[in-house]
Structure 1
Amino acid sequence: MMIHRRSLIASVAVTAALPRMSIASESPHWQRRAEMPWATQEIYCAVLDGKVYVAGGLIRDVVGTRINDRMGIYYPAHDSWAEGTRLPQPRHHPMLAAARGRVWAFGGYDRREGGEWTSMTDYWALDGDVWHPVGQMPEPLAETVGVTVGDHVHLVTGRSPLGGKNGQWNDQGDVATHLVFDASNNSWTTARPAPEARNSAAGAVYGGHIYIAGGRMVEGGRGTGRLDRYDPQSDQWDTLSPVPVSDTGNQVGGGLAMATVGDRLVAFGGEWLARPGGVFTETWIYDIAADRWTRGPDMGVPRHGLAGCSVDGVIYAIAGGEVYSGGKASGVVEALRL
C-alpha cells in the first residue's frame, strides 16, 4: 500500500508534536486528595514509615472554637485517612516530629486557669498506638519550627511567656530560642539562637542543614520573608535570599508551611494580618544551589496554620485555616508533584 508523501509528512509532524502537547497539559499543579476527616487548624505534622501524622489544633463547631486532641494518620500510598490515638491532653500548635522511629509531640498551648493560650512544656512519644508522657521541655516554647537532623529534633524560634503570666496570647512574645532534643537519650541542649526572633515560621532540612523561612513578629503583626540556614556541625547561621513579596503586596508571614523535594524547598500558605487581612495563595520554590526563589503553582485552597510535608517526592498541604486569624478551619488536603 502506498502512502502519499504529504500525508506521511503531516502524520509525522502531528506525532512529533504529541509529547510536547502532553507535557504542556501536565504542568505542575496542586491536586485535591482525600480530605482530613475533621477540619482543624494551627497544626504541624510528622512523617514516619511513609505515613503522615497530624494531631491537635483548633476546631470550630456550633459550640465555638475548641482545642482538639484528635490524631489523624494519612496514608499517601492509598490516599486514605485513619484516626489514631488521641493526645493525652488537648493541644493547639503542638509541634510534631519523627526521630528514632517514634513520633514526638512537643509543647503547644492548652487551656488553663489563665486562658487557652497557656504554653505547655510536656512532651510525649507515640509507641505503636499509645502516647507516653516522656518529660518536660527546658522552657515553654510554642508556634515554633521543629525539624529533625539524625537523632536530634531542633525547635527554633516561636513564642514564650514574657513574664509571670502565661495564659493569653498577649502573654507570649517572640523569641529566637534554639532547643535541641536528643531522641537517643532523652536529653536537651541549647544551640545558637536564630538570627531573628519570630513566630509561626516554617522549616525544612537539606544536606544536613536546617532552613527556616518566613514567620511573623508580634510587634505590628508584620511578616518576614527572611530565609536563614543553620549548620549543626559548626553551630553557625547564615542568611539567604528572602521569600519574594506576594501579589497582594504583603510579605509572607506567619502560618506558612515548607518541605524539601530533591534539591529544592517548597514554601506555601500563610496569612497577613494588616487590614483587610488575608491568606496567601502563592507557592514559592527555592533553588538551593542558586539561592533563588521562583513562583510555583498557586494553591487551590489558600490556607494558613496548615501542616506541610513531602513523601516520595510529593508535597502535601494538610488542613489549616481558610481565612485569616482562625475564622474557618479546613480539612482540605492538596498534593503537588513538581
Structure 2
Amino acid sequence: MNTLDRRAFVAAAGASAAVPFTAWAQADGSEWRTMPALPWAVQEIYCAVSKGAIVTAGGLRRVGGVTEIEDRMARWVPGAPGWTEGPRLPAPRHHPMIIADAAGRVFALGGYGRSEAGDWTSMTEVWALDGDRWIEAGQLPEPLSETVGAELGGRIHLVTGRSPGGRNGQWNDQVDVATHRVFLPGEGRWETAAPCPMARNSAAGAVLNETLWVAGGRRVSGGGTGRLDRYDPVADRWDTLTPIPPSPETGQQVGGGLAMAALSGKLVAFGGEWFAPGGGGGGGGVFAETWIYDPAVDRWDAGPAMRTPRHGLAAAAVDGVIYAIAGGEVVSGGRASGVVEALSL
C-alpha cells in the first residue's frame, strides 16, 4: 500500500464539539518566518535537538510518481547559512522516531521499512549516531511506528503509535496502540510504564514542567482527535486536559500528523491533515492553524497561522524559537516539502 491509500482508512469522523478559546495576542507582531530549507523534500519525519543542532533522518518523498523511503540525515545549527548532510541510516526508514538523550546522543527508533511484505513493515531496530556513522544500540520490545517520543529524566519515552495486528508489511496491517515503553540508553534495556489513556497514531509530544504531554493524533476507526494527555513520571500517572479545538477555518478536528514543541512555559502545536468523510475520493486538507496551550489555565489559544501549512513535519525548539521542518503540503503522500519556518513568541 502506498501513502496515498491511507485516506481510505482514516477518513474524518466529523469535527469534535467546539471548545472555547481566544486569539493569541500578537502585539509583538509574532509570525512564522522563512529559514534555510532542507536540501531535499521529505515528509513523515521527526527530529531531535542535540548540543544546539537540529537533527532529522528518514522519511518519505515521491519521485516521478513513485513513493521512496529516505535514508538521508540532515543537521542544522540555527543561525548557520544552511543544513549539512550527515551519515545515512543503516537502512531507509519512514516515521522513525528521532530523539536525543540527556547527553545529546541521537537515536533513531523503529519506524517503517521495506520488506518482501511491503513498504509499511514496522521495525524494531534502535540505532545511535556515533560520530560519522549509525550503530546498533538495541531493539524495541515490539515493532512500533508513528509514535511519540521524548527524553525525560534521563530516559527515552515512546508513547502510542501503531504496531502490527497480525501481518506486518502494509499500512492496514498495523493497529493503533496505547503502548508506553521507556528506554534506558545507558543500560540498553526497556521498561513498561502506564499506557496512554487513548490508543492513537501520529500524535505529537513535548516535555514541559518535567512532564510529558501528548496532543492530537488520529484513530483509524475514528478520525482525528484533539485530545491532550499529560504523563507524570514520578506518579506513573496520566491526566487528561482540554483538547485542541477544531479548526475554525475547516470545522475539522486538528489531529493526525501535527507537530508540537514547548516554548516559554507553553505548548505550541501546528499543522496536521484531515481526510474527507468516506475516504477514497481524494478529499481533505492540511491545517494552517497554530495552537498555543497555557498549562496555568488549561486553555488553547489561536496563534499565528502557518505560512506554509504542512503535515508529517518535525518540530524543534532552540534558544526561544520554534522550527517547523519539512512535511507534506497537501493531504496524504503528495508534494513533500523542504520548507523550514520559525516562530518566536
Tell me if TM exceeds 0.5. yes
Higher helix share: 1
User: Is 1:243 the counterpart of 2:250 in the alignment?
Assistant: no
Of 82, 85, 88, the match for 1:83 = 85
- 1:138-179: CA deviations, max 9, x gaps? 00110000011022010000000011x100000000000000
Report the alpha carbon displacement of residue 63 of structure 1 after superposing the two structures with TM. Answer: 5.8
Report the alpha carbon displacement of residue 78 of structure 1 after superposing the two structures with TM. Answer: 1.6
Report the alpha carbon displacement of residue 264 of structure 1 after superposing the two structures with TM. Answer: 0.4
- Give secondary structure in 1 for the equivalent of 2:218: coil
Identity of aligned residues (%): 63
Q: Distance in 2 between matches of 1:193 and 1:310?
A: 26
Deviates more, 1:314-323 or 1:55-64: 55-64
User: Is 1:116 the counterpart of 2:119 in the alignment?
Assistant: yes
Report the alpha carbon displacement of residue 208 of structure 1 after superposing the two structures with TM. Answer: 1.0
1:10 paired residue number: none
Q: Distance in 1 between matches of 2:157 and 2:81?
A: 30
- Counterpart of 1:39, as a letter, is A
Q: Distance in 2 between matches of 1:196 and 1:76?
A: 35
Report the alpha carbon displacement of residue 135 of structure 1 after superposing the two structures with TM. Answer: 1.7
User: Is 1:136 the counterpart of 2:139 in the alignment?
Assistant: yes
User: Which ranges in structure 1 are unaligned for 5 or more consecutive residues?
Assistant: 1-22
1:288 paired residue number: 295
User: Is 1:331 the counterpart of 2:323 in the alignment?
Assistant: no
Listed as ranges, the matches of 1:25-44 within 5 Å are 26-44=28-46
Of 142, 148, 153, the match for 2:151 = 148
Give the number of equivalent residue pairs.
Answer: 314
2:16 paired residue number: none
2:195 paired residue number: 193
2:75 paired residue number: 73
- 1:244-270: CA deviations, max 9, x gaps? 110210001110000000210000000
- Counterpart of 1:279, as a letter, is V
1:232 paired residue number: 233
Report the alpha carbon displacement of residue 77 of structure 1 after superposing the two structures with TM. Answer: 2.4
Deviates more, 1:211-220 or 1:55-64: 55-64
1:258 paired residue number: 260
Q: Distance in 2 between matches of 1:106 and 1:25?
A: 41
Q: Distance in 2 between matches of 1:315 and 1:257?
A: 11
- Give secondary structure in 2 for the equivalent of 1:170: helix
Q: Distance in 1 between matches of 2:79 and 2:194?
A: 38
Listed as ranges, the matches of 1:4-83 within 5 Å are 26-62=28-64, 64-83=66-85
TM-score by length of 1: 0.91
1:4 paired residue number: none
- Give secondary structure in 2 for the equivalent of 1:80: coil
Is the Cα contact below 8 Å between 1:307 and 1:318 reproduced in 2?
Answer: yes
- Give secondary structure in 1 for the equivalent of 2:172: helix
Deviates more, 1:312-321 or 1:71-80: 71-80
- Counterpart of 1:281, as a letter, is A
Structure showing greater radius of gyration is 1
Q: RMSD in angstroms over aligned alpha carbons?
A: 1.3
Q: Distance in 2 between matches of 1:128 and 1:172?
A: 34
Report the alpha carbon displacement of residue 213 of structure 1 after superposing the two structures with TM. Answer: 0.1
Q: Distance in 1 between matches of 2:104 and 2:317?
A: 17
Report the alpha carbon displacement of residue 79 of structure 1 after superposing the two structures with TM. Answer: 4.3
Report the alpha carbon displacement of residue 25 of structure 1 after superposing the two structures with TM. Answer: 8.0
- 1:189-233: CA deviations, max 9, x gaps? 11000000000000000111000000000114x100010000000
User: Is 1:92 the counterpart of 2:74 in the alignment?
Assistant: no
Is the Cα contact below 8 Å between 1:33 and 1:79 reproduced in 2?
Answer: no
- Counterpart of 2:164, as a letter, is P
Listed as ranges, the matches of 1:295-310 within 5 Å are 295-310=302-317
1:15 paired residue number: none
Cα distance change of structure 1 residues 211 and 24 upon mapping to structure 2, 3 Å threshold: closer
